Chain A
Amino acid sequence: MTFDLDRRWRLSEQVALRPEPFGALAYDFGTRRLSFLKSRALLALVEALGAHPSAREAARAVGVAGGELDRCRQALAVLAATGMIRAQAAP
């Protein structure tokens, strides 16, 4: 598992995020790919990414920890791989 929680990340400008009872839908207008975020915790984390200097701090802020953080981390890796979230240069 190599997703770097200690970088600052943000959602790509081309992505529309739509909360849903099961989590969220994320559509990338550039790639025409649709992603299903299957937990509200993951949604909260993704929404918080841009506002914190690291993904780890964003997770802390929204109360995601332990096993749940591990699962979210896997999911973040997938979102990064498809370009839905982008790593930011350190401030």
Chain B
Amino acid sequence: MSALASTGGGADAAGAAPAAAADAAPGGRLVDQFERGLDAPICLTWELTYACNLACVHCLSSSGRRDPRELSTAECKAVIDELERMQVFYVNVGGGEPTVRRDFWELVDYAVAHRVGVKFSTNGSRIDDERARWIAASDYVDVQISLDGATAEVNDRVRGPGSYATAMRALGRLAAAGASAPKLSVVVTRENVGQLDGFKAIADAHGAQLRLTRLRPSGRGADVWDELHPTAAQQRQLYEWLLAHGEQVLTGDSFFHLAAYGRSLPGLNLCGAGRVVCLIDPVGDVYACPFAIHDQFLAGNVRDRGGFAGVWRESELFARLRAPQGGGACGSCGFYDSCRGGCMAAKFFTGLPLDGPDPECALGHGETLLARRDRSTPPPRPSADHSRRRPARRGPAAPPERACDEDPIAAFLRREGVRR
């Protein structure tokens, strides 16, 4: 799996011209091919920093404060070199807020120069006109702006005061610079599921492509999942809306558990964790996926002797994930073939067994199981928490500590500014 040439002639482990007769089972469902994993990820998420100027209530990585053990610029470049050798096609760079790293733009450049496509996920706070033009000029860099409400009222309850304005400003600058199809990425919640047409309108107005993703009970998301995850009726509504919009709206394959409703949505429709994707975190820890930041899903660290490739290929955790998974309690369900038991992280962080239904199982089996769960044993919590402070419970915005907290940039600079 180390073909360096992009076309023909690449040496591969099996040798020169494979005999046609040696095909195991040509064709067949991708799900069946991939459950065993690959020698390299297809794409992956790379959180560059835990630092963030915002404090979104549902942050999957519990970000806020930089971790002093963050990978250095040189270490990041070494990881990129590995990704190039492994032919990882695409990296989704996030955080925290990745643009707060001083070497961020340099690293993006480096990745692109080394044939790794980059999408970076940002709250937009550092997308000025010059950066918007830079992004517009880069054919191989995609930008994704996060937004969780089609109005400031809905958005800012989750992402903080001023965050809607910041995101819209960034979208406007990108549009003005002629950026080709920035992504507008939304985490669907009980409070914004009624705004799907509104999100589409914002995306269309800015030449952006809408992306709807699933709220998972990960990171700080665990604290708000009960009140924010869509109801069963809303989930059905979301599914119908997604079907109607087809490939125009991206989902990051977030909703493969909804295939049990009937038709599957576009995408691979399987859990990619440890099989086709994984997470590299700011300190080099490699997790099965960004929604599973917990020791239970920690495969190794890029600073280990074998580097990232060694972790991907040899970690025990990934070998376990790539072994054939029985359906467990879901095995007898006629829909298991479509939904594959849903999201591992969603089950884990709601305290459900991994070999049973997803908490949002389309047939309601997860809801039933959750209701019966013993509340005296709390679900697992991530071992690390980089939050700056636990954000105030939502509802009317908590009164700011001081007037300048209204401006998330000011708050961030006040905390980090001395060194900059």
A and B touch in the complex (CB under 8 A): yes
Other-chain contact of A19, B12, B22, B23, B28 (Cβ < 8 Å): B12
B89 to chain A, nearest CB (A): 4
Q: How far, in angstroms, from A88 to B1 measured CA to CA in the complex?
A: 29
Residue numbers in A under 8 Å from B68 (CB-CB): none
Q: How far, in angstroms, from A15 to B90 measured CA to CA in the complex?
A: 13
Q: Is residue A60 contacting chain B, with contact meaning CB distance below 8 A?
A: no
The interface residues of chain A, by DSSP majority, are classed as mixed
Q: Is residue A34 contacting chain B, with contact meaning CB distance below 8 A?
A: yes
How many residues of chain B have a CB within 8 Å of chain A?
A: 33
Q: What does the 1/0 interface line of A49-69 toward B look like (CB < 8 Å)? A: 111000000000011100010
The interface residues of chain B, by DSSP majority, are classed as loop
Q: Which of B3-11, B314-322, B359-367 contacts A (4 or more CB under 8 A)?
A: B3-11
Q: What does the 1/0 interface line of A11-37 toward B look like (CB < 8 Å)? A: 101011111111101010110101010
Contact B42 A25 (CB under 8 A): yes
Q: Is residue B381 contacting chain A, with contact meaning CB distance below 8 A?
A: no
How many residues of chain A have a CB within 8 Å of chain B?
A: 37
B19: nearest residue on chain A (CB-CB)? A63
Residue numbers in B under 8 Å from A64 (CB-CB): 20
Which residues in B have some Cβ–Cβ distance to A below 8 Å? 1, 3, 6-10, 12, 14, 17-20, 22-24, 26-28, 30, 33, 38-40, 42, 87, 89-90, 115, 117, 139-140, 142
Across chains A and B, which 9 residue pairs bring their CB atoms closest together, nearest first?
A: A39-B26, A47-B8, A41-B20, A40-B18, A27-B89, A19-B12, A11-B7, A16-B6, A22-B33
Task: List, sorted by A's number, 30 A–B pairs whose CB atoms are closer than 8 Å.
Answer: A11-B8, A13-B6, A16-B6, A17-B8, A19-B12, A21-B24, A22-B24, A22-B33, A27-B42, A29-B117, A29-B139, A32-B90, A38-B30, A40-B18, A40-B23, A41-B23, A46-B8, A47-B8, A47-B9, A47-B10, A48-B8, A49-B8, A50-B7, A50-B8, A63-B17, A63-B19, A63-B20, A68-B20, A71-B26, A71-B27
Which residues in A have some Cβ–Cβ distance to B below 8 Å? 10-11, 13, 15-23, 25, 27, 29-30, 32, 34, 36, 38-44, 46-51, 62-64, 68, 71
